[in-house]
Structure 1
């Protein structure tokens, strides 16, 4: 009986001990445009709670409305999805966690065409 109780106790504690130090690695890029990181290429690591962040930046013009400009990839301590519109600027932020490089940008190739 004692061995059974010890086994149950170990099985109950194992997930907390094993997953205590789990971290997620995220892509970092301060200027991602046309399918490539143009500046600030690297990676960062986040512990439990925060996540990897992707921010799409748009600028407004009279003819086209809000038009995609670039993307920023990084880690965030308080990662939440949100959207901000302030004047001629629109920022859309998305978050993910639990999988390495989950913020690897998979944007629309429409924006990568050269004009």
Structure 2
């Protein structure tokens, strides 16, 4: 019976030990519009920290979506910043590869 309990304990702890160091892959793009990366396409890997970041850039005229930037960030926090006639809306995700792929205003343009 002791061996059975020990086996159950190992099976319960194993996933936490094994998957603790798994990295998250994030999409990188410096100019993402309408479902396409127009400039700076690539990917990055987050070992620890907040994870994949999506930043949407809006212009004041009705808060028109200008473009989206995708990258990795150690200090990503969901936020809205205003710089004159520009608004930058940031969001973060982790735990799933390329979780930032179609975030933001470009989402409705997703191409399969």
TM-score (norm 1): 0.79
Give the greater-gyration-radius structure (CA). Answer: 1
Within a 5 Å distance, the mapping from 1:79-94 to structure 2 comes to: 79-94=76-91
Structure 2 residues not aligned, in runs of 5+: none
How many aligned residue pairs are there?
107
Q: Residue 108 of structure 1: CA displacement? A: 5.1
CA deviations on 1:19-78 (whole Å, 9 max, x unpaired) are 122111110001112331111100011124321111000122xxx332211100001112
Secondary structure (helix, strand or coil) at the match of 1:91 reads strand
2:74 is matched with: 77
TM-score (norm 2): 0.81
Q: Is the 8 A contact 1:30 1:72 kept in 2?
A: yes
Q: Distance in 1 between matches of 2:35 and 2:12?
A: 45
Q: Residue 83 of structure 1: CA displacement? A: 0.7
Secondary structure (helix, strand or coil) at the match of 2:4 reads helix
Q: Distance in 2 between matches of 1:48 and 1:41?
A: 22
Q: Distance in 1 between matches of 2:107 and 2:2?
A: 59
User: Does residue 59 of structure 1 match 2:59?
Assistant: yes
